[in-house]
Amino acid sequence: MNTPLYPLTFRPLLKSVIWGGAEIRPFKGLEPNAEKIGESWEVSHVPGYFSIVENGALAGKSLDELIAEYGDRLVGKPVREKFGERFPLLIKFIDARDDLSIQVHPDDTLAKERHNSFGKTEMWYVIKAKGNAHLYSGFARQSSPEDYKKRIADDTFTDTLAKYEVKAGDVFFLPAGRVHAIGAGCFIAEIQQTSDITYRIYDYNRRDAAGNTRQLHTDEAADAIDYTVREDYRTHYEPEINTAVELVECPYFHTNLLDLDKTIARDHSGLDSFVIYICMEGTLELAMEGADPVELHQGQSVLLPATTKHIALTPAPKCKLLETYIPV
């Protein structure tokens, strides 16, 4: 007989990269060291990087094993019908000490055709921003495949992009096809489709210690880019205490912001989807009927199975969370 499902926390997968900073370990309550950590993968089903359960009777099991064992009870029947045996979301924290390369991700159709993969739609929530931290999202002026190739060649591509100075609480939705880049000083939470397909367009002509430039994918990116120009790429919302404020609604995920200073109840009985809570500030207790309460602190995430009906979230004394699930 299966072990009953309960709120699951996972061991973080810390990624040491040359552009990483020193924020992630202390943010998560881990002992600081000299390693440059650029990303912490909180919930992952990317092949080779399966999350491992940290708490309770299922500790040591991988997310892949859980999907095989629990199926619809873990992810939800409509979720499994749509995405098969692949857990559809990847949850990350990202700490950029340096500017990241300018990128684009293919949509489902192109990714399936070229890589037999899902595309990558994602969102960013800015947790912290240092000084004049900025990011790029979309085009500020009209471009085209021909203009794109010309500007890559003459090193003026960034002139066409919309650049935003950012602060804590800023949100950006990045559908597949939108050109984007995280700038130095940004510390963000990222929710994305489970896909590792990235087309690197421009890397500021940087070279490694051996004098080599990074591999670029300028040709592959040309027909993956959405060249539409929009007036504003920032997601606007009105903060509200002790209620779920919608940030993003798209076919791949629905994300709410919860800023709490008292206990609230959440009814997930109508979702038929897993739910993930990402704690970005403070501490809380999450209580689910039939399971031991789970204590979460800043920098932790928890996965609730699709069988979850009702929960209570109790901050101690305050907390800020992202809540995300698959709309069905």
- Residue stretches of the annotated binding site: 105, 122, 180
Read off the tokens for 45.
């089903």
**Cα–Cα distances in Å, from 255 out to 40, 136, 243, 278?**
19, 21, 13, 11
Catalytic site residue from 80, 178, 200, 266:
200
Read off the tokens for 283.
């501490």
CB 96 within 8 A of CB 183: yes
The Cα–Cα gap between 11 and 258 comes to: 24
| Maximum pairwise Cα distance, the chain | 64
CB 148 within 8 A of CB 157: yes
For the chain, first and last CA: distance in Å? 29
Q: Is 200 a catalytic residue?
A: yes
If you search the block for the tokens 């510390």, which residue do you land on? 187
Alpha carbon 265 to its chain centroid, in Å, reads: 25
Which residues fall in the annotated binding site for Zn(2+)? 105, 122, 180
Read off the tokens for 87.
């857990």
- Beta bridge partners, 312, equal 265, 287
The Cα–Cα gap between 237 and 240 comes to: 9
If you search the block for the tokens 């997310």, which residue do you land on? 63
Read off the tokens for 214.
């990074």
Q: Closest by alpha carbon to 295, among 321, 318, 281, 314?
A: 314
- Beta bridge partners, 281, equal 320
φ/ψ of 239, rounded to 5, equals -60, 145
- Catalytic site residues? 200
